[in-house]
Amino acid sequence: NPASKVYVANKIKACNTVGFHSMTHKLEDSSSEEELLSLIDNLNKDESIDGILVQLPLPKHINELKIINAIAPEKDVDGFLAHNLGTLATGELNSAIACTPFGVMALLYAYGIDPSGKNSVVIGRSNIVGKPMSLLLLSADATVTMAHSKTQNLIQICQNADILVAAAGQPEMVTKDFIKKDAIVIDVGIHRKENGKLCGDTHQNAKEIASALTPVPGGVGPMTIAMLMLNTALAAWNKDRKS
Ligand code: GUN
């Protein structure tokens, strides 16, 4: 997957920058579920490894959830395991949190934006962004609406958002018409346009109405990687604490 190649290269670079040892296992497209499960099993048992990340998407013949849930919970630095998403839902914020939504929360706090009591709309309901994003905003006391491809009156719902998170995977779908005056808009999308330029899920005209809009590239993407490094450091510290 061409996008995955770029993401993985950036993650390796970040590991080198912060001084983490990293190993990459590139499997063939035709690799079986068993091969991948056996690799994860070895990494689970390997004492020298604190974090495991399976870059998604996986080929169609492989059951993504089965693979993700085979990772040892304490090594799940992506925060994708059912266990880790579940503890987010129950409010036990002591296991790995999915890196992209975690990065969005870090950005909000860095800019002094407290979601408490604010109307927040998350467009997209994926396990890796939309669902954990909604849970994190909820745990920060926001009033949260989850919107998705079947949502009716999407524009009106978004017009009510003080914080709007665009994670629909649709290039430039969120235009200025979606945006309440002075809203905070977080753009999780990244797409390559026909002219070769990168864009997000939000149209640039959103800037005319919003008080803040994350850039693409250079907004949420680097935050995702920063939180991956943080999750990995926490996994290593937690292991040391237990041993
Ligand atoms: N594919 C797209 N985003 C991600 C991510 O944050 N982690 C992994 N593992 N795969 C992805």
Alpha carbon of 208 to ligand 1 centroid (Å): 31
User: Is the shortest distance between the CB of 78 and ligand 1 below 6 Å?
Assistant: yes
The pLDDT of residue 243: 72
CA of 181 to the centre of ligand 1 (A): 32
224 lines ligand 1 (CB under 6 A): yes
Q: What residues are labeled active site?
A: 11, 55, 78
Question: Is the Cβ atom of 233 under 6 angstroms away from ligand 1?
Answer: no
Rounded to the nearest angstrom, the distance between the alpha carbon of 91 and the centre of ligand 1 is 23
Type of residue at 14: A
> Average pLDDT over the chain, rounded to whole?
96
Residue 65: is its pLDDT beyond 80?
yes
Residue 62 tokens read as: 């492989």
Tell me: the pLDDT tens digits for 155-206?
A: 999 999 999 999 999 999 999 999 999 999 999 999 999 999 999 999 999 9
Cα distances from 32 to residues 16, 94, 125, 201, 243, in angstroms, run 30, 33, 28, 34, 35
pLDDT for 240 = 83
Mean pLDDT, range 73-77, rounded to an integer: 96
Is the CB–ligand 1 distance for residue 55 below 6 Å? Answer: yes
Whether residue 239 is predicted with pLDDT greater than 90 in this model: the reply is no
Calculate the alpha carbon distances from 172 to 6, 73, 141, 175, 202 in Å. Answer: 21, 36, 29, 7, 4
pLDDT (mean) for 218-239: 96
* Alpha-carbon span 163 to 186, nearest angstrom: 8
Return the residue whose CA atom lies nearest to atom 11 of ligand 1.
56
Residue 237: pLDDT band (50, 70, 90) is very high
How far does Cα 96 stand from its chain's mean position?
Answer: 12
pLDDT for res 242: 77
Please work out whether the CB of residue 99 comes within 6 Å of at least one atom of ligand 1: yes
Supply the pLDDT for residue 234: 96
- For residue 93, pLDDT beyond 90: no
Tell me how far CA of residue 102 lies from CA of 10, 175, 198, 229, in angstroms.
Answer: 18, 25, 23, 12
What does the DSSP assignment read for the chain? -HHHHHHHHHHHHHHHHHT------PPPTT--HHHHHHHHHHHHH-TT---B--PSPPPTTS-HHHHHTTS-GGGBTT--SHHHHHHHHTT-TTS---HHHHHHHHHHHHTT---TT-EEEEE---TTTHHHHHHHHHHTT-EEEEE-TT-SSHHHHHTT-SEEEE-S--TT-B-GGG--TT-EEEE---EE-TTS-EE-SB-GGGGGT-SEE--TTTSHHHHHHHHHHHHHHHHHHHHHHH-
Which protein residue has the closest C-alpha to ligand 1 atom 2?
56
**Residue closest by Cα to atom 7 of ligand 1:** 55
- Given the CA of residue 100, which atom of ligand 1 is nearest to it? 6
CA distances from 201 to 56, 176, 223 (A): 19, 12, 17
Where does the pLDDT of residue 226 fall: very low under 50, low under 70, confident under 90, or very high at 90 and above? very high
- Whether pLDDT at 80 is above 90: yes
Task: State the distance from the centre of ligand 1 to the C-alpha of 99, rounded, in angstroms.
Answer: 9
* Residue type at position 87: T
